[in-house]
Structure 1
Amino acid sequence: MRRVLPFLLALLVAPVWAGEPGASVRHRGYDFRPVTTFVNGFVGASQEDLLDGAVLVVMQNGRPIYQHHFGSYVGTGPKVPIASASKLLSALVIERLVENGTMHWDDTVADYFGTDYPDADPETGAITLGQLFSHTSGMTVVNNPCLTYAYRNMSMDKCALSILGTPLSWTPGTLFAYGENSMQVAGAMAQRITGKTWAQLLESELTTPLGLARTDYGLNDDGTPFSNPIIAGGARTVLPDYARVVQMLLQRGMLDGERYLASTSIAEMQLDQTHGVPADPESDPYPEAYGYGYGQWRNVVDCDGVATRISSTGILGTSPWVDYDNGIAAVFLTYKQTLNPQLREDLRQLWDVVADVIGAPVGCTP
């Protein structure tokens, strides 16, 4: 086993994000200069239409082996919106409820809503919780108006009822269509069965057990949580928080010696829960992926179809991923984000650049 540099040992008790802006953590045996060069190619305040700032951390064996701040990203940075990287966090909340028997992935909309929603029809009522979280529910990818900031404090239940009252665009279970409506319905189902708000579920099922100090789904000026947070795209977080999430996934449900989820639950989330149905080309940001699990993309699979690299990248650039082949967990967190059509491809290439470095150690670096 490679020896860790002495100052890295201190990081066992220090935050993994410690360090001055631009500082890198290096590990004996790896040369991360290609990673730094690659990211500098699409991050920097002086580069028009590119990301203004970002931070990347790569972890192995529970320790950071690389951390670098790019552009204007300073220190740990403020909480930033992470768009679709929220989906993985929300899926973990639901998986915890499934694991403890409160919910089941084959539960249906009708099991929770009955005929409460307008123009209730059997096809909508038969949609399962699993279909809601794997984007195969048949619901339109056009966001319901209740999934906007203006409706952040309506009830999530009312928002879900509005979504359920909208005609389906496809027969459930026949098409993968990536969007936000279906997950909002699932969140309302979780609220109905537990009697808790989404903010309370977030605390009991995610932030407290994983020790996430600065993750939320939006707060009002008085500090109270939004009552209708967008659970598929409304989370905010900081680097150390999401770093703990991906580290737990890399360790198959363990973190700090404690069991957060069973390894079988992690495996269930990473199966192709679309069951191979075709994808809607207009809404599929990763057509090259090997299907979609619960809240995460299956970017690389082995010969048995088991996911060996998963991710949950958001449109604003935040990209958490886990590479089981190389034994690494990583988070690329953006700051002062800019929508950029090239960004999705840049991030996909970043995963490969990091993998190349880890897969081909070159000995000690200065």
Structure 2
Amino acid sequence: MTALTDALAELLAEGLEDELYTAGAAGVRIGDERALAVVGRHGLDDPTPVSGDSLFDLASMSKAYVGAAILRLIDEGRIDPEAPVAEILPVGAGEGHDRITMRMLLTHAAGFPAEQLLWKDRAIPAEERRQRVLSTPLESAPGAEFRYSCVGFIAAGAVAEALTGLPLPDLVRTLVTEPLGLVRTGYGPVDPAHAVATEDESYVGRGMVQGEVHDELSWSLGGRVANAGIFAPVGEALSFAESYLDDRLLGPRGWRLATSPAPAPALPAGFAHSYGLRIADPGFLGDVPAIGHTGFTGTMFWVQPERRVAVTLLTNRVHPRRDRADIGAFRVRFSQAIARLAAS
């Protein structure tokens, strides 16, 4: 193994020893060198060793894939990010909802609440639930406040579906995964035998989740919406991150919108937001100047285009329960360790 692979394996082993997860995988590109490492097993009750083929629930990392698809539509001139999306599909409810733009949705400034708890009521028919989520009342005027919102991103995906006439899985496949040659990345459900376990969600009658989306809201909407639902193996997750180092996926405008701070209301101190990604977020990057995204299941990726560095970390830190492990400090430690390797 190369020194970079050894370093990845050592970092993953630390998280495993600290019982932050049962399954971990990481990939790094530094210049022309690429390395992957895996550790652990699929679950406490699944002794399948983690391999390069193991599928991880990306959780909110899915937002980056959907964001990339929408940026390609912007590159093609099919979406004006500053035009009201109501021209394509009305979303939200309340004063000003007809002024919501795609920029606001992708930068979490549209005014939507952070969550929608309709998943708790299984008696609501699926299509009615979807419409009620899309028409969620706003908590603030469009463009006035930053509020990280899964609801807003679900709305962004629905707008893209309405524009193209394609279901979101087909849209992501056509615009993102196929151009990058990713054959095992996509929306679930996937074969549980090839997936790492996430959480015991017996509280909604699911039992241990494995091969289906972990996020309750996405699950209640069929598991194929923009806030969560994509699965990937570590090598392909790294390939997606690497696409921000070249022009294989995004055109000049899309790449600039993905990697530069977007016009936005005041954000929490310490980070900025692009069209779909966080910039220099100390919550998972520490002091590393990079762009990327995290996922609730214990996933993240980040890139430094100017240094040709791409990183992904995939875990199942919510297994068997979300309150068992806080992976925040480990993410920061991991990010800083890779940044030091890249600078050496």
TM-score normalised by L of structure 1: 0.73
Are positions 1:171 and 2:138 aligned together? no
After TM superposition, the structure 1 = structure 2 runs for residues 271-310 of structure 1, keeping only pairs within 5 Å, are: 271-273=260-262, 275-279=264-268, 288=270, 290-299=271-280, 308-310=289-291
Superposition RMSD on alpha carbons, in Å? 3.2
Distance 2:317 2:281 in 1: 30
After TM superposition, the structure 1 = structure 2 runs for residues 74-89 of structure 1, keeping only pairs within 5 Å, are: 74-89=50-65
The residue type equivalent to 2:257 in the other structure is E
Structure 1 residue matching 2:21: 3-state secondary structure:
coil
Cα distance 1:160–1:109, how it changes in 2: closer, same or farther (>3 A)?
farther
Pairs aligned (count): 302
Tell me whether 323-332 or 192-201 shows the greater mean CA deviation: 323-332
The residue type equivalent to 1:319 in the other structure is M
Cα distance 1:79–1:37, how it changes in 2: closer, same or farther (>3 A)?
closer
* Pairing partner for 1:351 from 335, 339, 342: 335
Distance 2:121 2:330 in 1: 29
Q: Which has the higher strand share?
A: 2
Tell which structure's C-alpha radius of gyration is larger.
1
1:273-307 deviations in whole A, cap 9, x for unaligned?
2525244xxxxxxx53x211122110179xxxxx9
TM-score normalised by L of structure 2: 0.77
The aligned residue for residue 150 of structure 2 is 180
Are positions 1:107 and 2:77 aligned together? no
The residue type equivalent to 2:229 in the other structure is G
Q: Which has the higher helix share?
A: 2
Structure 2 residue matching 1:311: 3-state secondary structure:
strand
Structure 1 residue matching 2:3: 3-state secondary structure:
coil
Cα distance 1:113–1:75, how it changes in 2: closer, same or farther (>3 A)?
closer
Q: Is the 2:75–2:254 Cα contact (8 Å) retained in structure 1?
A: yes
The aligned residue for residue 69 of structure 1 is 38
Are positions 1:209 and 2:179 aligned together? yes
Distance 1:299 1:32 in 2: 27
Q: Is the 1:144–1:163 Cα contact (8 Å) retained in structure 2?
A: no
- Identity over aligned pairs, percent: 21
The aligned residue for residue 235 of structure 1 is 230
Q: Is the 1:160–1:185 Cα contact (8 Å) retained in structure 2?
A: no
Moved over 4 A (4+): 148-153, 225-228
Q: Is the 1:299–1:309 Cα contact (8 Å) retained in structure 2?
A: yes
* Unaligned ranges ≥5, structure 1: 1-23, 255-259, 280-286, 302-306, 361-366
Distance 2:123 2:61 in 1: 21
* Unaligned ranges ≥5, structure 2: 42-48, 192-210, 214-220, 283-287
